[in-house]
Structure 1
């Protein structure tokens, strides 16, 4: 769950601009940033308010602060309304629907006309009521005479005991009308959400894993009268923002933990869930409680790619020490390759093309060889003996292979045709001096050393190696070779992970293992953050009593818990500890390896400076049959035999032997799939991950 740096509260209004003098029943807002309370802001109309909100969000994003923005109007309508208008239960599609149709100016808007238009779609007697204008509006009566509502009168939250005094969203005019506030309010929020794409999460419709959260809060449900001399709306937004800022992370997360996928919810209204019944038996350990969603693999990868940055410093090393290092800068050629025109073969050089037919040329005394250039110029109509790699002397631009000539009496004879420039290399035809030889982010290979050397590079700018600490957690773990007691197991993860890190080209830092002791684990994480750039832990990444890694990250205020729609390996804890990114991997070795390959490998590459890399997969025929349910991506331990993908005989995540049996993974997409022998499946060899 998110933790916020800044809280803001907005009291909305759908009426017209009445001037610059602060007044009741207008738009008011207040910001509390890191316990510092700003004076309540009077926003005289919705155009000004939208601009102010835009600037506030942009400022917080630019400063890297997480923002919780509260609004005092419903974010959704009673069940069924969204589908009736948009064909979908998604309330955010309804936001866009209204945004397309609301015309809003400081002095007027079309909310009453739009309400009448909607009513006419359902017979003209509801669901909206109370025409607040002097003119008649077809479909929207001035009172509830003959009123009929085809939808529920209230949302579930508005029937809760804590929500006494709330108003129905269908009322368009009169005291307590929120109908117009919703229409104009969600239209503004829809535009802000679209402008700050992938930066804003809408509660409770979306996971709060973005830097900005929009939350529905009704100050009047919890606050009484304003102090004498204070405008009520101005005082209320200040009090709400202050109360949110004072709330503990635990209490805030608890209040935000509600399920209201279509109608929305009011923050602060408790959501009782009595009469708990067991779910249907699905024999599926990946089943989550109702209302809890998985994070798809592609979405988790995209979030990692979006949020992580290179974190290693740069240095210069001699060429011979650069292999395997990541280039910190683009490298430009100091010399062309080849530096001069030269011959590509052993033969005889001369000037110009040769037409079809025989040709006889007299030879010039001497020869040109690699490193021993010819001292002089070859006259037109004469030839010179040249050897492979020799610089072409003046008067030579074409070479005939020695296998195609006859040499006699100091003459050379051969047949045309032969093009000008045949069997020669132009200066710089490979790399020209000043051109980029290799780009920043490339991991230097042995072949790259040849290129860098050829273009005159002796000192190479590289990033310092990424140091990755590996720590195992759990009372049940003992070192291989020690005596394992009842209920204990040997630590299989640490040797595997340390080796993976080294094979991937990073520097492994062994932090040993820690039992289920929060203080010892905290101290070991402190030590790891000093010794390494990134920390990988295994075990303790979920939300159980002994899952101390996620608990400590949560206490530090820097935890993202993702339940990945992935098999094997569900929980993945991501956070920061003393400035070091932490990947909390599952404790099961099979799941730990799969999560390392799929998530940690590209993330570590990005942080090391080599950029984000997608593993190369190959479509091959299956040598197995597999039925898969929809909803999660599966990775099967696999190998290639006779051009077909075989999978390990058991999918059990406790079968560690399948990791060493396999030569890669078969990836089966998120949807439902029935794989039959011969069907194409995607095989990703271990080598694609740098192993």
Structure 2
């Protein structure tokens, strides 16, 4: 199938997805320069050095509930178990040792007093003045979070190569770390190729279209924490394309383009890249997104995405994203998105030669079961389909599918994080 959905002859030069991705990742070299940032600045950055805890967490035994701290030897089965309340321990207090034969009023997060071995939740207790009746006997250790239960001194809590999110920063803060060593941001230079393109905000002339790809690419790169150098729109000539590629390579770690990677007379990227360096990949056996180019320009990696907006989006998610993450220092085992299995709400009666990444919605049917629905058009020029979809359904090559069969689904939450 061609990108428009019409039939085409078999193209044996197309690389399978796995082979193409392995080629790209094999060329991805992580940046080595590091910098120190505060926790407030670290969200989305890539950790360059592991974080090791210098404290136990929690630092002391503490109560997991509001209730009463007791020593279980003071409680007897079948007895009234009425104890005097000898102290009150809010969070942040320093308790006294528990007096034998008494209970201590205690609140969530407060230190458990020495001599207590259980916390009885307040819902099964009855307090009357300075006395409390324990109506349900606790097991030893009940509702106590012990020192070092979460983290111990010397434990590595965050690995180098972790892409930092809210949970990682919270964990670093919980063990007292205020600054982190991270890799510098990857610098990506990009431009769009096409005399028909014009920037949004200007009136369209004859044969012109707005340059949506520039803003799609910029947003995708920003979501990965890249520094972006935009060279704008480059005219469709071999000389201008060579000049733009050379200028981009001189100031970035990666060069990315949209459009101009086909074989028409006005598509100059392929010969320009070959003239300035090498082209290692050109066609991939997927749909949409077959004409993805990868190579090097004066030693700098180059990724040329297709001009059709859906093809650009899909190839970025499947190939550029893992390449960029690895180049930023992310551990390779963390690069692959995790698909979801769900039932197809459609028939796929024709076996295709290329694996299809169809725009799709994952929803619940009337019985509360996850199901996948496909967008009505397969055209790779319908950008509206990406705002309708919440992910991509993976439709295997060389096989058909019937409604109700399990299909892999890649949610955008996995592809755009």
Q: Same fold judged by TM-score > 0.5?
A: yes
Q: Counterpart of 1:358?
A: 79
Report the equivalent of 1:164.
none
- Choose between structure 1 and 2: higher helix proportion: 1
The equivalent of 1:665 in structure 2 is 392
Q: Does residue 681 of the first structure (1) align with residue 402 of the second (2)? A: no
Go from structure 1 to structure 2 and tell me whether the alpha carbon gap of 1:287 and 1:393 turns closer, same or farther (over 3 Å shift): same
Does 1:633 pair with 2:355? yes
1:137 corresponds to: none
Q: 1:442 to 1:393 in 2, by over 3 A?
A: same
**2:349 equivalent to 1:624:** no
Matched, 1:449 2:173: no
367, 370, 380: which one aligns with 2:91: 370
Structure 2 length-normalised TM: 0.88
- Per-residue deviation, 1:449: 2.4
- 8 Å contact from structure 1 (residues 347, 401) kept in 2: yes
Among 216, 219, 224, the alignment partner of 1:499 is 219
Structure 1 residues 620 and 364: alpha-carbon distance in aligned structure 2, compared to 1, 3 A threshold = closer
Moved more, 314-323 or 658-667: 658-667
Rounded Cα–Cα distance in structure 1 between residues aligned with 2:83 and 2:310: 75
Alignment of 1:213-232 (within 5 A): none
TM superposition shift of 1:515: 0.8
C-alpha displacement of 1:286 = 5.7
Q: Point out where structure 2 has 5 or more consecutive residues left out of the alignment.
A: none
State whether residues 589 and 654 of structure 1, in contact with CA within 8 Å, keep that contact through their aligned partners in structure 2. Answer: yes
2:198 alignment counterpart:
478
Q: 1:387 to 1:672 in 2, by over 3 A?
A: closer
1:284 paired residue number: 7
Higher strand share: 2
Question: Does the Cα contact within 8 Å between 2:191 and 2:232 map onto a contact in 1?
Answer: yes
Q: C-alpha deviations, 1:289-319, integer Å up to 9, x for none?
A: xxx4321112112222333232252211111
Cα deviation code 1:356-391 (max 9, x no counterpart): 3335364364322211112x3223333322222111
- The runs of 5 or more residues in structure 1 that have no matched partner are 1-281
Q: Secondary structure at the match of 1:385?
A: strand
CA contact (8 A) 1:319 1:459 kept: yes
CA distance in 1, matches of 2:67, 2:204: 74
Q: Assess if the C-alpha contact under 8 Å between 1:433 and 1:455 holds in 2.
A: no
Residue in 1 that maps onto 2:336: 614
Partners in 2 of 1:358 and 1:468 — Cα distance? Answer: 74
Aligned-residue Cα RMSD (Å) equals 2.5
User: 2:287–2:355: 8 Å Cα contact kept in structure 1?
Assistant: yes
Tell me which residue corresponds to 1:203. none
Higher relative contact order (CA 8 A, sep 6+): 2
Give the alignment's TM-score, normalised by structure 1.
0.55
State the distance in 2 between where 1:619 and 1:339 align: 42
Is the alpha carbon distance of 1:286 and 1:439 closer, same or farther for their aligned partners in structure 2, counting shifts above 3 Å? farther
Question: How far 1:327 moved relative to its partner?
Answer: 1.2
